[in-house]
Chains A and B, each alone.
Chain A
Amino acid sequence: MIKNYFKIAWRNIRKRKSVALINILGLALGFSCAILIFLFIQFHLTFDNFHKDSDRIYRFVSEVHRDHIAYKSTVPPALPNVFKNDYNYAEKVAKIIDRGEQLITVNSGATPQRYKPRTAFVEPDFFRIFNFPLIDKDFSDELTAPNTAIITREMAKKLFGDTSPINQTFIWDNKDTIRVTGVLKDLPKNTLINSRVFISFKTLQTSDRTSWIATESWTGTATSLQCFTLLRLNQDPLKIEQEMKKWPAKYHPEPVSTEDHYKLQPFPDIHFDSRYSNSINIKLLWILGAIGFFLILIACINFINISAAQSVYRSKEVGVRKVLGSFKDQLFRQFLTETFLITLIALIIGFGLSVLFLPFFNNTFNLSLSKNGLINFRFAGFIAILLIGVAILAGSYPGIILARIAPVLALKRKLTQSDTGSSLTRKILVTSQFVISIVLIIAVLVIGKQIKYATSSDLGYDTSTIVMVGLPETLEQAQLNTLKNKIVQSSNIKRVSICFTSPGAQTDGWGTDVNFNGNPKYEKFLIQSKMGDEDYIETFGIQLVAGRNFIKKDSVDEVLVNETFGTKIGINSPEELLGKPIKISDDYIQGRIVGVVKDFYNQDFHGTISPVFIAPAPDLWYNEIGVKINRKNTKEALQHIEQQWTSYFPNFIFEYAFLNDRVTEMYKSEQQFLSLTRLFSFLAIFIDGLGIYGLVSFFVAQKTKEVGIRKVLGGRVIDILGLFFKDFFTLIGIAGLIASPIAWYFMNDWLQHYAYRTQINWWVFALPIGCVLVLTLLIASYKGYRAATANPVKSLRSE
Chain B
Amino acid sequence: MFAVIFGVSMRSMQLGTYDNMIDGAVRQYSGFIQIQDTSYWNDKTIDDLMTDSPELRSKITEIEDVNSVLPRLESFALISSGSKTKGAFLQGIDPMVDTQMTGISDKVVKGKFLEVGDDGFIIGQRLAAFLGINVGDTIVLISQGYHGVTAANIFPIKGIVKIPNPALDKVLLIGDIGTVQEFYGAEGMLTSLVVNIKNKNAIDEIIPQINEIMNDKSLIALSWTDMNKELKQQIESDNGGGIIMLIILYSVVFFGILGTIIMMTAERKKEFAVMVALGMQKKYLSAIVLLETIFLGMIGAVVGALVSSGIVWYFHDSPIHITGEMAGIYEQFGIEPVLMFSTDWTIIQAQFIVVFSLLILAVIYPMIKISTFKIIESMHS
The answer to whether A and B assemble together is no
